[in-house]
A and B are shown apart, each in its own frame.
Chain A
Amino acid sequence: MIGNDIVDLQVAQKESNWNRPRFLQKVFTTEEREYIDTAPDKDKAVWLLWSKKESAYKIIVRHLQKRFFAPKELINTIDTTDSQDYQSKHLGLVTFGKFLIHTRSTITNSYIHTVAQEHSDFTNLNVDCFSIDKNEYPAQHQTTHHRVIQHYSIMTQSSANFRIKKSALKVPSLYAGDTKLKVQISTSHHGNYGGFALESTSLK
């Protein structure tokens, strides 16, 4: 199972005020809040931990076959040796009950994109991020789906009629015509950025 999540840092700053009273307490554990408190860039620390929870959540939904809102139960393992310079790919671990989720985040000054899966080898994951013209749902949705299909078409050198359909739990699947494909996908968008992860193991 895979998951991914993207945070547009500029839009997050405008549309989400994590500084408001009780916000951090509702979302983060004591340990996570300590990490944020001591971070050189608190804004990035907040959205990094958030995107890790969100990407892991998408895997949990697939396992439990139900949706819920429990950000504090998705717990980031805090690495005390983390220098928080965020120069390269940032690896993480999120737990939820008995589940252990591995995450890999790409952190830029514009966005944070995290992909998640249940093992630590990320080489089978095809990942991409892109900008979206308009910060509006239809544009975000269309661009993101288009980019996944484009990527998959190039990857498989196929011009089949690919489509993305979502289940009742809003888990997306890739279809060729009416046939559901085995390849797993996860899509996300926020503000002017979109991203996806595509599990390519089944292609080999």
Chain B
Amino acid sequence: MAEHALVTEGLTKAFGGFTAVRGVDFAVRRHAIHALIGPNGAGKTTFFNLLTKVHTPTGGRILYEGTDITHESAAAIARRGIVRSFQISATFPHMSVRDNVRVALQRRLGTQYAFWRSIRSLSVLDDEAMALLSDVGLADSAEANAADLSYGRKRTLEIATTLALDPPLLLLDEPTQGMAIDDVDRIKRLIRRIAVGRTILMVEHNMSVVADLCDTITVLQRGEILAQGSYDAVSADPGVKAAYLGGGHA
């Protein structure tokens, strides 16, 4: 196996005349927690969307475990084990908390097109869904509608749903955005716990989260990599300081 789980080579995305991501060479080490940061408009979200195939790159390649996945569909790369979370909470609001997790588990049964079978055939997954929910502390709300959960708990449910797929590579888009401080700590602990044996790439604004969790940080600015390295190295970088203070026109 290669040392890196995910590699991009010269990844580029242009929207008409505007190049949001420009020739990014980037690699995520296996089993690392890697953060992607940068000022607003740096191209973080576009880069993330390229990795998860929301957008199609206009140039360059994306390699996952050495395989070129540049032209695969979003659903296909999810089946390879690259699962993303969303900036705003992504649950199925009108389904129960347990069914949210069960929908993710269901793919394994291979009966997702079986419109003639009873829904009771899914109850074999109930125990596992409940185990995942108690693992993240949501077991007491299993029967509630996902829409009725608090914001922090919705994000927790999202993580439980993602874990149901047991993905080797997790892409988290601002996992603590808009959260109260208690919830941030809880999500932080949760991420550290689930990172065991997995690779995590996250976009995050909260620097305390980045400092506490991440081994490697990549700073993007105007669609290009500005700096890369450990938190201390990156935060000492004069270019990064300039970019964040708004003074730099490098």
Is chain B found bound to chain A in the same assembly? no
Chain A residues within 8 Å of B, Cβ to Cβ: none
**B interface with A by C-beta (< 8 Å):** none
